A and B are shown apart, each in its own frame.
Chain A
Amino acid sequence: MTRIVVFLLWIVLPPGPLFSAEPLLPLPPPPAVSRDKAALGERLFHDPRLSGSGRLSCASCHRLESGGDDGLPLPSVPTGPYPHNTPTVFNAVFNFRLHWYGDLHSLQKQALVALQRDMQVDWMRVLKRLRADRLYPRLFKPLYGIIDADGIIDALVTFERTLVTPNAPIDRFLRGETAALTPRQRQGYRLFKQYGCSACHQGANIGGNLYQKLGIFGEYDTRDPGRFAITGKSEDLRIFRVPSLRNVAVTAPYFHDGRVETLEKAVALMAEYQLGTRMSKEDIALIVEFLHSLTGHYRGRALGDMP
């Protein structure tokens, strides 16, 4: 019966709306997760005892009260100079790969790498301290039994799954609420599509779902080899994971090396190296206005608007 109805609808309906003519999609609702695990993950996310030095927590670099990043060109981690700008943790769950090289396939892997490489976690010590804690054993017991590395990672990842920012003006616009964008933002969106920005920055996360070469029209000034560093294949030179543009207005500075401070400059550079064109100041301003409409809400507040 259902199949017949679907078939009839398929015949009757015009083909357009079934395949979104828009390159952007509204953010899906946050995945359903265990509330207790997320709460435990949030506590761990802010706990500096997870780091070797006892001074660094996940939240040190992924500050939830700002854009989910650290606002620095490059992060300051005790392991010495770090090559890449900190990506935001918000909506990370919607990325098909993680990090600028896109070498990590899952949030679990990212959490493990961040803890072991960047935070230099000493698991034996951490587990001993958490087990001796007043609160943690009681929180872990019903969820994971004993406190171990797998449980910690799982709680962290569960919390990260809740770090999504729905209800940005663009989402409301895509759901049919035209007035959610100002006329200038709508114009900016049109330019965004016309110039071809949306060739790469598309989908629900507005990027974050493919690799692309940095510097298609002309060589971009960087010594970073891109994915070549991972794969060793010459075709991967200067190939990076395309970052998501959601909340881009509150996650300056920009690009893999954090050398670009403003959105205007970022847009102009993208136009020059990726699109092979030079945008007018007015077009850049319009697109930047549009980019401001990509800022979503976390816990009822617009991102970057936290107390």
Chain B
Amino acid sequence: MTSFRPTFLLLSMLILLTAMYRYTALEVRHAVRFASALTALRLHDAELNRDLLLLRGGDLLHYDSINHAIGQIRSDLSTLTALPGELAPQVETLKRMARYKAAQLERFKSTHALVRNSFAYFLHLQEALTDEAPVFPALGAAMLQFMRRPDPRHQRSLSDLLDTLPAGKNGRGTHLEAHTRLILQRLPELEEILANLLTTPLGITATRIASVHESHLDTLQKRADRFRLALYLTAILLLAYLFHALRRLQRAHRRLGEEMRQRLDTERQLLQARKMEAMGTFASGIAHDFNNLLGSIRGYGVLAREQLENGQSPYHALSRIEAIVGRGHELIQRLLQFARPGGDDLTPLAPAAVIEEALGFLTPTLPEAIQVSFLNRLNDRCRIAARAGELQQVIVNLVRNAAEAIEGEGKITVTLEPAGSDTILIRVHDSGRGIPPSRIERIFEPFASGKPGGLGTGLGLAIVQRIVRDHGGRIGVESEPDRGTEFIIELPKGLKSCRRPKKP
């Protein structure tokens, strides 16, 4: 349900935005293209009309530019036809006009070419003949009038003059007459065609359509503006949501950091408490040892007194007492070292000695039916970087757990062996009841004690794991129910090679 809502929201937003895009953005683009094609059409039509007038005035002497203009008009119209819109009937009107104009244009070119040609030739001949008879200058003047405005009056005066040309014409006179007659016949026709062309309201119609289209475009653009506004609001909304999410994330991060710090503090306190707990465990072993020492001291004390009474030197007994006291002192030193809070630097030490010592403390406190053995497969020079107290704590915890897993008789084996070139392994194996598979995954978590009846604090293995990690190592466990459990600790490389030289 919680994941359904954002997905639904996202999907509906996507559909909405896509619809708006398809509906408005594309339509606006088409409408803008329509408008620009209309503008181009008006420009090209104006260009065509301008060039027609230039041609008529004799200032333009070729038809390339009008051919180009009508070609452009045709392509503008095909652009307009290709675009969807409600103005299709109007575009059809434009096309009809353009077709009419194109047809008139062909007539214009052919007729215009004839008239221009004849006029050029007329001027040439008239100039050459002008001194031969007075009719020729008059003919020239009448022709200019007619060329300027080919109305019936000028037409009549020109043709009247033509009839008075001297008979017995020479070749040039014949040509002059032929060309004049051609102009007389074709110029009014050319004027009519030109009028047809210039009055075809292609440009005006396009302008009218453009103004209709403009209001349509305006509506579309307003709609597009609304779309843009919607997009803007959506963006703002998303931004607000993003900000909110970020704030929440930040708060969660801070809370998590605080929790972590508290946890570490508790763990550190627990570590120390655990150490003290171990000390308590050791107490009986220590008491036993001290009892032995005290017994020996008393024995040697009695011996020394007897020797003094017998006048013998008590030297030997006293030096024994001194040695025993020295051992007692040593024992106390080590106890103190164990109890000291952690934080020491890693120091090079011989792992075997540390483990032997821990086992020395521990063994007397275990039930007699449990046999503890230690197998050292490292060479004697092997040193690892570690804190002795912590390492001992690990062994004590694991061995005690192992002992608790054994009911009645059993065996605990601690093995120290090289692994690979840069690590050593500490294995603690017991023949106890094993750990059920359901619990094995969570065994290193705090408060996951497997001891019945709330005997354990549930912190033992968590502390072990923490210590191993602090040493840069790893810990794993393998267990078979009713067959036993083995904890395997991998610690980083010894300072010297820990591998025993291979026997030849």
CA distance A23 to B116 in the complex (A): 12
Residues of A within 8 A of B118 (CB): 196, 276
Is A21 among interface residues, defined by CB-CB distance under 8 A?
yes
Q: Contact at B63–A203, with CB atoms within 8 Å?
A: yes
Is B114 among interface residues, defined by CB-CB distance under 8 A?
yes
Partner of B106, one of A24, A195, A211: A211
Is B149 among interface residues, defined by CB-CB distance under 8 A?
no
Is B312 among interface residues, defined by CB-CB distance under 8 A?
no
Is A213 among interface residues, defined by CB-CB distance under 8 A?
yes
Q: Contact at B179–A276, with CB atoms within 8 Å?
A: yes
Which residues of chain A from 174 to 220 have a CB within 8 Å of any chain B CB? 193-196, 198-200, 202-205, 209-213, 216-217
CA distance A239 to B113 in the complex (A): 13
Q: Give the interface SS of chain B, mostly helix, strand, loop or mixed.
A: helix
Is B67 among interface residues, defined by CB-CB distance under 8 A?
yes
Is B121 among interface residues, defined by CB-CB distance under 8 A?
yes
CA distance A202 to B118 in the complex (A): 16
CA distance A152 to B81 in the complex (A): 28
Partner of B62, one of A25, A194, A274: A25
Q: Contact at B120–A210, with CB atoms within 8 Å?
A: no
Is B256 among interface residues, defined by CB-CB distance under 8 A?
no
Is A136 among interface residues, defined by CB-CB distance under 8 A?
no
Q: Contact at A239–B110, with CB atoms within 8 Å?
A: yes
Is B54 among interface residues, defined by CB-CB distance under 8 A?
yes
Q: Contact at B116–A196, with CB atoms within 8 Å?
A: yes
Q: Contact at B61–A22, with CB atoms within 8 Å?
A: yes
| Interface size class, chain B | 20 to 34
Is A277 among interface residues, defined by CB-CB distance under 8 A?
yes
Residues of B within 8 A of A21 (CB): 59, 61
Q: Contact at B67–A194, with CB atoms within 8 Å?
A: no
Q: Contact at A194–B178, with CB atoms within 8 Å?
A: no
Q: Contact at A216–B106, with CB atoms within 8 Å?
A: no
Is A74 among interface residues, defined by CB-CB distance under 8 A?
no
Scoring A193, A213, A216 by chain B CB atoms within 10 A of each residue's CB, the highest score goes to A216
Residues of A within 8 A of B109 (CB): 209-211
Q: Name the distance in Å between B192's Cβ and chain A's nearest Cβ.
A: 14
Residues of B within 8 A of A200 (CB): 113, 117
Partner of B110, one of A20, A193, A211: A211
Interface bits B103-139 vs A (CB < 8 Å: 1, else 0)? 0001001100110111011001000000000000000
Residues of A within 8 A of B59 (CB): 19, 21
CA distance A96 to B120 in the complex (A): 25
Partner of B64, one of A19, A209, A277, A278: A209
Is A275 among interface residues, defined by CB-CB distance under 8 A?
yes
Scoring B54, B61, B62, B120 by chain A CB atoms within 10 A of each residue's CB, the highest score goes to B62
Scoring B59, B113, B171, B182 by chain A CB atoms within 10 A of each residue's CB, the highest score goes to B113
Query: B123: nearest residue on chain A (CB-CB)?
Result: A194
Q: Contact at B62–A19, with CB atoms within 8 Å?
A: no
Q: Name the distance in Å between A150's Cβ and chain B's nearest Cβ.
A: 19
Residues of A within 8 A of B61 (CB): 20-23, 198, 202
Q: Name the distance in Å between B385's Cβ and chain A's nearest Cβ.
A: 67
CA distance A211 to B63 in the complex (A): 11
Given A196-B121, A199-B117, A216-B114: A276 touches B64 (CB 8 Å cut-off): no
CA distance A275 to B125 in the complex (A): 13
CA distance A209 to B51 in the complex (A): 15
Which residues of chain A from 221 to 261 have a CB within 8 Å of any chain B CB? 239
Interface CB pairs A-B, < 8 A, 16: A20-B61, A21-B59, A23-B61, A96-B71, A198-B61, A199-B113, A199-B116, A199-B117, A203-B62, A209-B62, A209-B67, A209-B109, A210-B63, A211-B110, A212-B113, A239-B110
3 smallest A-B Cβ distances: which pairs? Answer: A196-B117, A199-B117, A23-B61
What residues of chain B have their CB less than 8 Å away from a CB belonging to chain A? 54, 59-64, 67, 71, 106, 109-110, 113-114, 116-118, 120-121, 124, 171, 175, 178-179, 182
What residues of chain A have their CB less than 8 Å away from a CB belonging to chain B? 19-25, 96, 193-196, 198-200, 202-205, 209-213, 216-217, 239, 274-278
Besides A193-B120, A209-B62, A277-B121, 17 other CB < 8 A contacts? A20-B61, A25-B64, A194-B120, A196-B116, A198-B61, A199-B116, A202-B62, A202-B63, A203-B62, A204-B62, A210-B106, A211-B106, A212-B114, A239-B110, A275-B121, A276-B121, A277-B175
